[in-house]
Amino acid sequence: MNYIENIFVCLAAPLLIALICTQGKGKRMMIFLLSGMAACLLSSYISTFIAAAQGVELLTASLEISPLVEETMKLFPILFYLLIFEPHKRDIADSCLMTAIGFATFENVCYLLQNGADRILYLLIRGFGTGAMHVVCAFIMAAGILRLWDRVWLRAAGTLALLAVAITYHGVYNILVSQTGTLALIGYLIPLFTTVITLIFRKAVFGKDVVKEKAPF
Amino acid sequence: MIETIENGIQLVTTGICTAVALRKGILLQSRAWIMLTLASGVFFLGDLYWELFLILYGKTPEYSYIPYLSWYAAYLFLLLLLYDLRDKNDERHRSRILWIIPVFTVGMCIFYLQWGDWVGNIISALLMCLLIWNAGEGLLSIRAQKADHPETKCKKVWIYILVLLFCLEEYGAWTASCFWTDVTLMNPYSWFDIMLSAMFLLFPAALGKAVDG
C-alpha cells in the first residue's frame, strides 16, 4: 500500500518552508512546483476512483484513463494563473515547465517507493523519460498559449485542442513504456528526443520575446 | 489485419503531412501552416495510439476516449485553420442554402445515436457542422467575388474543397460502419478510410496554394 498523501506531506514540507523564505520569481517557481505535485496527488485519487467506479484493471486504467486525468489536472494551476494574474509571456512558459517538473518528480518518487530503487540504469532511463514526457506536454500547452492565438475565444478552443494533443502523446508514451525491452526503451527515448528537438527550435516555438538571447549565467 | 494496414497507411500519410507542414510552419512562421501541422499531427497521434493498441494488445481500446479526443482535436485545428484563412476585409457570403448543413449534421447525429454515445456524437456533429459551414461559406464567398470581379484569383478554393471532401469521407466512413461490420476490403468503410488518408497528402499542396500564393 502506497500512502501517497504521506509522501506528498514529506516532499511538500521543505518546499513550503522554502516558499516562506524565497521572494519574487523563486517564490513563484516554488508555488508551481508544489502545484505540480498536488496535481499529481489529485490525479492519482481521481484515476483510482474512475478505475474503481468502472471496474477497470490497473493496466487499462494506466493506458486509457490516467493520461486524460493527469494532463487535465496539470493544466488547472496554469489556467488559474493565466485567468487571475494575467502574467507576462515568459512567466507563463516557466510556470508550465515548473508544474510539469513538480508532477514528474512526485510521480517518480511514488514509483520508486512502489517498485524499489535497486536498478539504477533502468531508473535513470525512466527518470529522464518520464521527466521529459511531462516537460514535452507542458511545452505543447505553453507554446500554444503563448504563440498561436490572439483572440480569447480562439485561444480557449485552441488550448482545449492542445490539451488533446498532450493527452494523446502521454497515452502513446504510456502504451510503449507498459511493454518490456526495446519497445519500452523507445517509449522512454521519444520524449527525450522531442525535448532536444524543441530546445533546438525553441526560438521558433516560443518566440523571441520569451526566449532570452543570452543565458542568465 | 486489414484494419492494421489501413491504419498504417493513414499513419504514413498523416506523418508526411505533419512533417511537410511543420517544415513550412517553422520556415515561414505561418500560423496557418502550424494549424495544419497540429491537425495532421494530432490525427497521427490518435492513429498511432489505436495502432499500437491493436498490435500490442490485439484489440481496440476498451475506453476509446483518447483516440477520439485526438480526432476531435484534429477537426478543431482544421476549423481554426479555416478561421485563420479568413481575411479581415473578406466579405462572407451568407446564403440560405447553408442552413442545409446544420439540418444534415443534426439528422446524421440522430441517426448515429442508435449505435454511438451521446456526447461523442454531439461533439462530432457540432465540429462537422462548423467545418462544413465555414468551407461552404468560403466557397460561396469566392463565387460571389468572382461574379463581381472576374479577374479575382481563387487561391483558397482548393483548401475549402478539400475540407468539404474530408468531412464527406468521414461521414461516408461513419455511415458505412453502421451497416457493414466485417473488417474486409469489401467494406466501404475501408474505401472511405483510404480516401481520407489520401486527403492528408493533398492538404499541404492546397494550403500552399492558399497561403503562399
B84 CA to chain A: closest CA distance, Å? 10
Q: Are the beta carbons of A103 and A134 closer than 8 angstroms?
A: yes
Is the residue at A13 inside a domain?
Answer: yes
Is the residue at A216 inside a domain?
Answer: no
pLDDT of A211 > 70? The answer is no
DSSP category for residue A151:
S
Percent of chain A exceeding pLDDT 90 equals 24
pLDDT, average across residues A31-42: 93
Q: Residues B5-19: pLDDT tens digits?
A: 888 999 999 999 999
| pLDDT score for A89 | 75
3-state SS record for A27-79: HHHHHHHHHHHHHHHHHHHHHHHHHHHHCCCHHHHHHHHHHHHHHHHHHHHHH
- Residue B180's nearest CA partner among B119, B104, B115, B108 is B115
CATH number at residue B79: 1.20.1070
A37 CA to chain B: closest CA distance, Å? 24
Is the residue at A157 inside a domain?
Answer: yes
More confident residue, B62 or A147: B62
Please tell me the distance from the alpha carbon of residue A174 to that of residue A133, in angstroms, as a whole number: 10
DSSP category for residue A215:
-
Residue-range definition of the domain harbouring residue B91: 2-212
- Measured between beta carbons, the chain B residues lying within 8 angstroms of A168 are 42, 45-46, 49, 66-67, 69-70, 73
**Integer Rg of chain A from CA:** 17
End-to-end CA distance of chain A: 44
Grid cell 514529506 — which residue?
Answer: A10
How far apart, in Å, are the Cα atoms of A194 and each of A127, A133, A191, A202?
16, 9, 5, 12
- The 10 Å Cβ neighbour count of residue B115 is 10
Q: Residues A138-152: pLDDT tens digits?
A: 888 888 777 766 777
Whether A60 contacts chain B with CB within 8 A: yes
pLDDT, average across residues A157-177: 90
Angle at B49 between CA B191 and CA A206, to 5 degrees: 110
Q: What are phi and psi of A214, to 5 degrees?
A: -120, 145
**Mean of the per-residue pLDDT values of chain B:** 87
Percent of chain B exceeding pLDDT 90 equals 46
Is the residue at A111 inside a domain?
Answer: yes
Is the residue at A215 inside a domain?
Answer: no
Q: Residues A61-105: pLDDT tens digits?
A: 888 899 999 999 998 998 888 888 878 777 888 888 899 999 999
Is the residue at A84 inside a domain?
Answer: yes
Number of compact structural domains in chain B = 1
Residue-range definition of the domain harbouring residue A176: 4-206
Q: Are the beta carbons of B119 and B63 closer than 8 angstroms?
A: no
pTM: 0.89
- What residue spans of chain B are helical by DSSP H? 2-28, 31-57, 65-85, 100-112, 118-148, 157-179, 188-207
Q: Which positions 98-157 of A are in contact with B (Cβ < 8 Å)?
A: 148-149, 154, 157
Is the residue at A213 inside a domain?
Answer: no
Is the residue at A214 inside a domain?
Answer: no
Grid cell 451497416 — which residue?
Answer: B179
Q: Note the Cα B115 to chain centre separation in Å.
A: 22
Reduce the DSSP state of residue A208 to 3 states and report it. coil
